[in-house]
Chain A
């Protein structure tokens, strides 16, 4: 993209709240693969798709059957589908472009989190983590749910065999277990209440490896980085642990099976631990030793270089940013509202957080004027350079025509057509069409405004700079507060709650 002219000297993580989005009470958010669309689940059962570039609403997915709060949203790999889990125990799969519901499945319990299979563009399988039982693989077409084992078979002989029908057969309740797919979706990584990370082959419903975490406390979240190379767990002992994934990114299952075979002689639990040690190694641990706070919604940045975690303390909206080496680089503080969800943009240094009041805050880098952008031959230097003037620098010599030296061979061939491959999306399958944006259909002006052509200038007495103040009043949706009319007035340092609309001086001067 435009990486070549963006100043690399500024750090790659956000610093201030740039804007906030408001529409109903939003509970959970998810970016699509390229970060051009943001899906937000609301407390009234609707799912809103925001166009992240215009910060406006691109689509609303409404289902009259579902009025319970949404607990999680998840995109399919190329952005065509969105899976929404709600407090009324349902999982709804939506087609994004048409805004139509594809399937709706009711489970035995409310799923706290539901993840679509990451490998295909029209996934039919999803991983659901219910409120108080083991995570399950749900086939969205048939509605069938397969429970996954969350304990090593030997240590819990009472574990009922996994059932392929919807009816639960009296398995003892577990505390909520966190689980996620690996990058290509052939394995499920689950973190159980004993603090063990289990690698599960969901097709054969078997635990293939186990990695114990030190301290053995309940794992609350488990999530992979975008490139699949790092795994993060958030435990009840207030520690975030980063593991490095040693399995190959593709065919991880095959490699795991291979490892299992070589160790057939050992007894089961030991074997699982040894295989586990070949799949994940502990890389880092993060905790706040001073306040010992619990973390909420930790995740990686898009390139895996940074880790963020939200503070789970009530009444504060704090986001901690660490680099992968373990150093705390920044603490972002927002308004005094608890944080309930947090995501990092897949590509840009932008973080989006959801507060308890239902507002979505967008954090971005503080813009500092790049002075070298204002003249073609300005260059930014890292530090002061000693300038040694030439002997004749200030002599008065008759001006000789300075030949504009072009040290570029003008006969070189110039390629105006070939497009560079975007390295951030290395496994883009070009045969699959990715949904990057939803078509923007201009909403028609109300009829009476169209006739007012040149009268417009005198009518704009209202203090705002945006296009048509008359049409703003006419449309009473909650979006009027989303857009700042003119970021020229922004004061990047402060934590803004609402942007002030001030007329620019020039506009007032030219009032005719």
Chain B
């Protein structure tokens, strides 16, 4: 376990320990996300439901039912009040996370094929969604109207997200390209990769909006400075050839990149040194999604069909709980 040596005296790396396996979904879990205030954890599944868990007690709070097909992605609004989910039934649904009945507030219709990825903008007045119909749509939260339809790619769109001030959208697609769009006008500002292979499975801005983390289906994660277009860091060691596995930045206790993998583990790399620091074992199927708690040193991961659980890992918990 190497500690990130950058000339400063950092405390030695404390390994994450498995805390609990949350069971509740009846099929593969596709996405898991902590809310921005850290109190709730939402998980979406191919069993057509979303489960809300408390991140402190890890108990199941509520199940959000309404989609008629499996759900591929979900996103929290910045005030942690609303969740938007993207489903194979071609719609997006906005749920009120606080309501006790767990009902769907709004349904956004317009995509012609299954909706694969979704994200709120930081101001949470817009939602961007990417679909198998190769378009990206920008929706207004208040009225549910589609403001822009962008013919973005030539194959399914695998990932869309906003940058820190909501002015840019980054999108990745199976057609191998990663593009940056102007959120206000829907115009293309830059193309970062344009090779036909490998497919880009995930793309996300860094917390300060200067860098983009891109995952490609050749077992690679890259960190890129989007304004210069140069690739600065490459992270390897995991397996990612088939699924659109999400990865994320961990900044609560040192800077790391966290990602799921098709070999059933969660990988954690040191951001600067690019070395693999820890491999979390425990899942019994591909780990498709990981999320970091905004304030505590806690990571949640979700896995596919053979596993169906959401697992919680923490640096601070005293003992490892039984799996």
Contact = CB atoms under 8 A, between A and B. Distances in A.
B108 interface: yes
Given A56-B143, A440-B124, A442-B105, A373 B207 contact: no
Interface in A437-488: 437, 439-445, 449-450, 453-454, 456-457, 460, 465-468, 471-472, 475, 479, 483, 485-488
Contacts of A443: 106, 142-144
Interface residues of B, number: 77
A418 interface: yes
Interface in B63-95: 66-68, 79, 82, 89-91, 94
A247 B112 CA distance: 61
A436 interface: yes
A288 B225 CA distance: 48
A5 interface: yes
B124 A454 contact: no
Interface stretch (B164-172, B288-296, B312-320): B164-172
Contact of B192 (A54, A376, A406, A417): A376
Contacts of A375: 191, 194
Contacts of A403: none
B187 A440 contact: no
Given A453-B68, A471-B144, A373 B123 contact: no
A373 B150 CA distance: 15
B149 interface: yes
A423 interface: no
A467 B142 contact: no
A376 B229 contact: yes
B107 A445 contact: yes
A456 B125 contact: no
A494 interface: no
Instruction: Tell which of B140, B233, B255 has the most Cβ of chain A within 10 Å.
Output: B140
Interface stretch (B25-33, B50-58, B178-186, B298-306): B178-186
B267 interface: no
Contact of A5 (B184, B190, B231): B190
B187 A370 contact: yes
Interface string A1-35: 11011100000000000000000000000000000
A5 B89 CA distance: 36
Interface residues of A, number: 66
A51 interface: yes
Contacts of A381: none
B208 A419 contact: yes
A510 interface: yes
Contacts of A436: 123
A425 interface: no
A480 B82 CA distance: 25
Given A54-B125, A373-B191, A410 B140 contact: no
Given A414-B272, A440-B124, A373 B188 contact: yes
A420 B91 CA distance: 37
A453 B142 contact: no
Interface in B169-224: 179-180, 182, 184-194, 206-211, 223
A416 to B, nearest CB: 4
A383 interface: no
Contact of B109 (A55, A369, A456): A456
A456 B208 contact: no
Interface string A100-120: 000000000000000000000
Contacts of B146: 465-467, 485-486
A504 interface: yes
B23 interface: no
A467 B123 contact: no
A415 B194 CA distance: 26
Contact of A483 (B145, B167, B180): B145
Contacts of B190: 5, 373, 376
B307 interface: no
Interface in B266-283: 271-272, 274
B155 interface: no
Contact of B194 (A5, A376, A414, A444): A376
A413 interface: yes
B66 A416 contact: no
Nearest to A4: B227
Nearest to A441: B142
A374 interface: yes
A53 interface: yes
B148 interface: yes
A412 interface: yes
A174 interface: no
Contacts of B232: 408, 410, 412, 414
A2 B205 CA distance: 13
A26 B191 CA distance: 41
B208 A5 contact: no
A488 B191 CA distance: 19
Nearest to B91: A453
B141 interface: yes
A327 interface: no
Given A5-B189, A367-B185, A373-B190, 16 more contacts: A53-B184, A374-B191, A406-B230, A414-B233, A415-B208, A415-B210, A417-B207, A419-B209, A445-B144, A454-B68, A467-B145, A483-B147, A488-B149, A504-B149, A506-B151, A510-B112
Interface of B: 6, 66-68, 79, 82, 89-91, 94, 104-110, 112-113, 123-126, 133, 139-149, 151, 163-168, 179-180, 182, 184-194, 206-211, 223, 226-227, 229-234, 249, 251, 255, 271-272, 274
- The 4 A-B residue pairs whose C-beta atoms are closest, nearest first, are A440-B125, A416-B206, A4-B227, A440-B141
